[in-house]
Structure 1
Amino acid sequence: MKQGQAKFQIGQVVRHRVFPFRGVIFDVDPEYANTDEWWNSIPEEIRPRKDQPFYHLLAENAETEYVAYVSEQNLLPDESGVPLRHPQVAHAFEQVQHGFYRPKAITAH
């Protein structure tokens, strides 16, 4: 499989191209790195390619907050400027500008 360079970066706010949710990226896999069970649970007609970056998001929709795993082809930059309400965002990030968060420094003991 050919690996591509990630289009989005950690701390960037993105939204799903099809489904009504958005979130902040907290990790990136250069290509698909989840289970076969998860992959096969996606309907074949909308199943993304595995040979592209996949993003881990602190995600939210109108009803709830959760962690999502999304292919690059299904993400767009979120330019709404609305702060995320996901409770883990404040623990891991500081908002620095419209559409971007900076990871907080980790203190080791």
Structure 2
Amino acid sequence: MECLTIARFRLGDVVQRRDASFRGVVIDIDPSFDDRSSEAMQPFYHILAVGPDGGFTAYTREDELVADPNQAVLHPDDARRLFTVHAEGRFTPVDHALH
């Protein structure tokens, strides 16, 4: 029997890693990743992250992330260059459409 997994976060959501090592924007979701090291399957997310050392892409499982109500993830100039910012505070990468 196939298990249906529903992602907690949407594309464009601002999230933070639970250990506060980075904050970023969800740019892709892998809903069917089977992490054999955890007890349950869960979505993994590609995050365009900002940390102390600058920007990077992180691949992180759902239980390591929390919603981040602070929308100031990037410097405003970087946010305008990399994203379209929607009225509800979600981000769409300018180089490709959201799924």
The question of whether the paired residues in 2 share the 8 Å contact of 1:95 and 1:102 is answered with yes
Distance 1:83 1:19 in 2: 13
Size of the alignment, in residue pairs?
Answer: 94
Please give the TM-score of this superposition, normalised by the length of structure 2.
0.73
Amino acid across the alignment from 2:29? V
| Counterpart selection for 2:84 from 73, 87, 94 | 94
| 5+ residue gaps, structure 2 | none
Distance 1:50 1:90 in 2: 38
- Aligned partner of 2:63 in structure 1 is 73
| 5+ residue gaps, structure 1 | 34-38, 40-46
Q: CA RMSD in A?
A: 3.1
Please give the TM-score of this superposition, normalised by the length of structure 1.
0.67
Report the CA distance between 1:90 and its aligned residue: 2.9
Correspondences of 1:15-94 after superposition (within 5 Å): 15-32=16-33, 48=38, 51-85=41-75, 90-91=81-82, 93-94=83-84
Distance 1:61 1:23 in 2: 9
Identical residues among aligned pairs (%): 31
More helix by share: 1
